[in-house]
Amino acid sequence: MTTKTVLITGAGIGIGRATAIAFGRLGAHVLVTDVLTTQGEAVAEEIRAAGGSANFHALDVTSTEAVEAVFSLAEAEHGGIDTVIANAGIARRVPIDRMTDDLWDRTIDVDLKGVMRVFRRAVPGMRARGAGSLVALSSIMGIAYGWDEHIHYSAAKSGVVGLVRAFAVELASQGIRVNGIAPGYIRTAQLLSEEHSLGAVGAEEAPAFIPMGRLGEPEDIADVILFLASTAARYITGQVIVVDGGLLVGRY
């Protein structure tokens, strides 16, 4: 692991939290960012309590000004950011007959444009150092499945795939690698939401059609993120890795 400083969006809960703790355990300074202030501060404190180094910064990825402020502060305090994990995202159940422009725009703004904002801001520093790793979170709902009553989410996560590929091609010659991860069913607050996702009952039923026989855990995704950020993945760019326990290849 060559990452000295990593910035993670949506790091207060779920996959972001697990990823922050994993980087902290390996000795990276972790910039924990989220709109969830209490949860984000708790993650940073957990990393420090375990002997690691971390700070929390409130960050709404829909604000270009807020992204600029957090990056500028981080660069001033730490000299640069080696790895950026664009994890912040929302999923809201909205049938097509209730899909307003505002509801559509909100999901695209967080789940797709938010990725672009943090990647765009990370590039100048990485380009100057001739190295860097960018990792974005897509979803199996963005690469293989349509998700009924979540067309804005599926569209945004599909967009992340295209964004990863385009960033990767443009930045490869400058020493910057760009990759993505498409998680399957992962045990997070989002998945367990009765209103917007599978809910508790659906989560109990899901392992029956997952070849590995269980839901994924946030740590299952965090470990793949660590790999993509490491020198072990030095010749990998422009890829979106599915991490789903065999779900996609097992459904036929």
Q: Which residues are catalytic?
A: 153
For residue 46, the surrounding DSSP H or E stretch is helix 37-49
Q: Is 222 in contact with 120 (CB distance < 8 Å)?
A: no
List Cα–Cα distances, 146 to 154, 156, 224, in angstroms.
6, 12, 24
> Are 209 and 240 within 8 A, CB to CB?
no
Tokens of 159: 């967009």
Rounded to whole angstroms, the Cα distance separating 29 from 12 reads 16
Instruction: State CA 93 to chain mean position distance.
Output: 20
- Written as one letter, the residue type at 69 is A
Say how many C-beta atoms besides its own lie within 10 A of residue 170's C-beta: 12
- Amino acid code (one letter) for 19: T
